[in-house]
Amino acid sequence: MSLFSLKKKALSVALLDISSSSVGGALVYYRKHSLPTLYFSVRVPVELYEGEMLSAGMLRALSVVERMLVEEGGPTLRREVGSGHIDSVLVSVGAPWQDTDITSRSIQKSQAFTFTHAAMESAIQDIEPASEDRLESGRTIIATILNGYETQNPFGKRVNRAEMIVLSSTIEKAIAKEILTSLRKTFHTHDVTLTAFAPAAYSVFRDLYPHQKDFIVLDVSGTATDAAFVKRGLLAGVRTVPHGTHELLEGGKRAAHAHSLPSVGMIDPLRNTAFEARTDELEKTWLLGLREVFTEFSGKQALPRMLFLLADENARGFLKHVLEKSELRSLWLSDEPLSVVPLLPSHIAPYVKTRGLAEGDVYLALLALYCKKGIGNL
Query: Do residues 161 and 106 lie in contact, with contact meaning Cβ atoms separated by under 8 Å?
Result: yes
Instruction: Quote the mean pLDDT of the chain.
Output: 85
- Per-residue pLDDT tens for 200-250? 888 899 899 999 999 999 998 878 888 999 998 888 888 888 888 876 765
- Position with higher pLDDT, 170 vs 374: 170
Q: Which DSSP state fits 264?
A: G
**Of 153, 158, 159, 157, nearest to 141 (Cα)?**
153
- Provide the H-helix boundaries in 195-268: 197-208, 245, 251-258
Average the pLDDT over each of 13-22, 97-106, 109-118, 155-164 and give the range with the smallest value: 97-106
- Per-residue pLDDT tens for 286-311? 888 888 888 888 888 888 889 999 98
Q: What average pLDDT does range 62-71 have in this prediction?
A: 98
Which residue type, as a one-letter code, is found at position 326? Answer: S
Give the model's pLDDT for residue 12.
95
Q: What average pLDDT does range 119-123 have in this prediction?
A: 91
* Residue 260 in this model has a pLDDT that exceeds 50: no
Query: Could you give the 3-state DSSP secondary structure of residue 324?
Result: helix
H or E stretch including 371?
A: helix 362-375
* Residue 2 in this model has a pLDDT that exceeds 70: no
Query: Do residues 366 and 348 lie in contact, with contact meaning Cβ atoms separated by under 8 Å?
Result: yes
**Of 172, 288, 283, 165, nearest to 229 (Cα)?**
165
Contacts of 105 (CB under 8 A, 6+ apart): 123, 124, 126, 127, 163, 164, 166
- Position with higher pLDDT, 78 vs 222: 78
Neighbour-count burial of 325, counting CB atoms closer than 10 A to its CB (0-12 exposed, 13-18 middle, 19+ buried): exposed
Q: In what order do the strands lie in the sheet with 192-196?
A: 192-196, 88-93, 10-18, 22-31, 37-45, 353-357
Using CA atoms, how far apart are residues 276 and 270, in angstroms rounded to an integer? 10
- Position with higher pLDDT, 251 vs 310: 310
Using CA atoms, how far apart are residues 61 and 336, in angstroms rounded to an integer? 42
Using CA atoms, how far apart are residues 24 and 44, in angstroms rounded to an integer? 6
Give the model's pLDDT for residue 246.
74
- Per-residue pLDDT tens for 130-167? 888 999 887 888 889 999 999 989 999 999 999 999 98
* Residue 258 in this model has a pLDDT that exceeds 70: no
- Per-residue pLDDT tens for 268-292? 344 344 435 555 677 788 888 888 8
H or E stretch including 155?
A: none
Cis? peptide before 154, omega within 30° of 0: no
Query: Do residues 2 and 88 lie in contact, with contact meaning Cβ atoms separated by under 8 Å?
Result: yes
Query: Do residues 365 and 348 lie in contact, with contact meaning Cβ atoms separated by under 8 Å?
Result: yes
* Residue 58 in this model has a pLDDT that exceeds 50: yes
**Of 240, 30, 228, 208, nearest to 142 (Cα)?**
228
Q: Which domains does the chain have, with CATH numbers?
A: 2-96+173-204+346-375 (3.30.420.40), 98-171 (3.30.1490.110), 209-343 (3.30.420.40)
| 345, 91, 234, 316: CA torsion to nearest 10 | 30
* Residue 4 in this model has a pLDDT that exceeds 70: no
Confidence bin at 316 (pLDDT 50/70/90): confident
- Tally Cβ neighbours within 10 Å of residue 196: 25
Model pTM?
Answer: 0.84
**Of 26, 18, 65, nearest to 357 (Cα)?**
26
